[in-house]
Structure 1
Amino acid sequence: MGGTSGMGLATAQVLSSEGYRVIISGRSQDTINKALSEVAGDCTGFPLDFTDAASVASFFEQVGSLDHLALVGSGKAVWGNFRDLKLEDLKVAFEQKFYGFFLCTQAALGKLRADGSITFVIGGASRSAIPGTTGVAAVNGAIQAMAFTMAKELAPLRVNILSPGLFDTPVYNWMTPEQKADFFKQMGGELPVGRVGKPDEIGQAVSYFIKNGFTTGAILDVDGGDGYIKYWLNQLGCFRNLTSLFSGSRGVGLEQRDLAEGQVAHETIAEVYMQALHNKTAQGKTFEVYNEKGNPLTNWSAAFAALLSGAVFH
């Protein structure tokens, strides 16, 4: 599902290059034809509105039998803090992605090979607890929960989840080329791999799930190590008093600037890091990350490596 742009198109290109017969979907025949012109090999496509049950049923009647199903389509994302979310916006987000994935997967069951596979591509917000992504997290979290249960219910059919990080796709084309290059350079430079993802790397991950018959009920983070960093930083837990955490220890630390003694407005150390490393302020308070020699650490990877080296905060 999907396949006319971004990660979906790249997935079609990868699978086609590996010898698979690929069928893509799109909102219109024009977008499908444009995508088909960019895919070599055996590839075809049919129009699909995956929020409409009749359209979904018609699509799978045209497709016929399937070995594998990859759902890479996206819907309207609903951004904003929880207190500001509108119910109607959230309903649309669920209808366009969760219910769309649900309808397509259910309709495909009668066509799928018994020991084939289903791969859901979702956003990482469902496991990141990023303020302002409550709605996005809810939609993707619902797909994740559904997929885990499906992996047991539908066995030996395999069901897996891909969770991409930051990828260079057309979704960022609202920026100028210069702005996008700067954004990707900054954000990619904070990842262990030193760059953002390429769309074909999602295609390679889908290919892995298709080929590996011993993998089901799994989540694969394709994010350049971003989830690994966030996980370990968040394991340090929630805190509101820096003094009790830092007192009497050594190593990497957060220097307090213009801050009432021992007080911090952040919930997690990861949020403090993000503020410090981007030289931003939080409610007028500025933090600096530095090592035990007193030298500032201005790179996320360097700061994180120092943290894991055995040093603790002071």
Structure 2
Amino acid sequence: MNAPVALVVGGTSGIGLATARLLRERGATVHIAARGEERLAAAADSDPALIGHRADGADRAAMATVAAAIGSIDWLVVTLAGSEGVGPIADLDHSVLRRAFDAKFWGHLATVQAVLPQLAPTGSITLIGAVTARAGMPGTAGIAAVNGAVEALVKPLAAELAPIRVNAVSPGFVDTPWWSALPEQARRDYFTQAAQRLPARHIATAEDIADITVAVATNRTITGTVVEADGGARLVSMA
């Protein structure tokens, strides 16, 4: 029996890399795609079993070329993210928000469209949203709109593409390079304060979210679902 084949887009760091590693540990042949040559090279050094492809997830033609080269794909995981779109609504620059949509929403959509012809009929698509899509956190209206748009794809696509399964994982605070703009000590202090407010009292690691992402991608009973993995952030005020 051939090993299942996975493609993790945005798979060179954070949640994407942790997910690719876990899928590989569980016996899949795992391809990762990213636009950064240095990160692909670093992933090749640290995880030589992962098969790297240089492509921008928002470039439908490039992603279609990658998918065609791979052939039949069982599990597509899209972990594209951007760091823009945060800030008070009165000061939110529309050009910045457009870039945020380009990086995440349009990246997710273009990747799904490109890879769809190669997806196995029993395969799955797993997207990564974020808690901002549902939590009322001041200063997150822009990024909430981006993540809300990603998560809004799930139910209609699950119905339209059946029997291919479509789901999303919606993390909260995760200690990944997404926070790298903050100095190390400032990030640690912020996470300590945030953890005290979270019902779970825990800031997630990339591996925490990878566990859930792999379960969602591989379990054939789950479709049309956004799995909330936010430590309860949506339940409390984080302001």
Q: Distance in 2 between matches of 1:180 and 1:91?
A: 27
Q: Distance in 2 between matches of 1:80 and 1:28?
A: 27
Q: Which residue of 1 is the match for residue 15 of structure 2?
A: 7
Q: Which residue of 1 is the match for residue 105 of structure 2?
A: 98
Q: 1:67 to 1:28 in 2, by over 3 A?
A: same
Q: 1:223 to 1:76 in 2, by over 3 A?
A: closer
Kindly state the Cα deviation for residue 218 of structure 1 after the two structures are TM-superposed: 0.7
Amino acid in the other structure paired with 1:147: V
Q: Is the 8 A contact 2:61 2:114 kept in 1?
A: no
Is 1:16 the equivalent of 2:24?
A: yes
Kindly state the Cα deviation for residue 204 of structure 1 after the two structures are TM-superposed: 0.7
Moved more, 167-176 or 45-54: 167-176
Q: Distance in 2 between matches of 1:35 and 1:86?
A: 34
Q: Which residue of 1 is the match for residue 150 of structure 2?
A: 143
Is 1:213 the equivalent of 2:220?
A: yes
TM-score when scaled to structure 2? 0.89
Q: Residue 36 of structure 1: which of 25, 39, 44 is its match?
A: 44
Q: Distance in 2 between matches of 1:177 and 1:96?
A: 25
Q: State how 1:233-272 maps to structure 2 within 5 Å.
A: 270=237
Which deviations, in whole Å up to 9, do the C-alpha atoms of 1:239-273 show, x marking residues without a partner? xxxxxxxxxxxxxxxxxxxxxxxxxxxxxxx4xxx
Q: Distance in 1 between matches of 2:135 and 2:62?
A: 34
Aligned residues: 231
- SS at structure 1 position matched to 2:75: strand
Which deviations, in whole Å up to 9, do the C-alpha atoms of 1:125-145 show, x marking residues without a partner? 111122221111111111111
- Computed over aligned residues only, the root mean square deviation of the Cα atoms, in angstroms, reads 1.8
Kindly state the Cα deviation for residue 156 of structure 1 after the two structures are TM-superposed: 0.8
Kindly state the Cα deviation for residue 170 of structure 1 after the two structures are TM-superposed: 1.8
Q: Residue 180 of structure 1: which of 174, 180, 187 is its match?
A: 187
Kindly state the Cα deviation for residue 76 of structure 1 after the two structures are TM-superposed: 4.5
Higher RCO (Cα < 8 Å, 6 or more apart): 2
Q: Is the 8 A contact 2:80 2:103 kept in 1?
A: no
Q: State how 1:40-119 maps to structure 2 within 5 Å.
A: 42-119=49-126
TM-score when scaled to structure 1? 0.69
Which deviations, in whole Å up to 9, do the C-alpha atoms of 1:173-221 show, x marking residues without a partner? 3334333332222211222332211111111111111222111111111
Structure (1 or 2) with the greater helix fraction: 2
Q: Which residue of 1 is the match for residue 4 of structure 2?
A: none
- SS at structure 1 position matched to 2:182: coil
Is 1:190 the equivalent of 2:190?
A: no
Q: Tell which structure's C-alpha radius of gyration is larger.
A: 1
Unaligned 5+ segments in structure 1 are 231-269, 276-314
Unaligned 5+ segments in structure 2 are 1-8
Kindly state the Cα deviation for residue 37 of structure 1 after the two structures are TM-superposed: 2.3
Q: Is the 8 A contact 1:151 1:160 kept in 2?
A: yes
Q: Distance in 2 between matches of 1:57 and 1:213?
A: 25
Q: 1:30 to 1:92 in 2, by over 3 A?
A: same
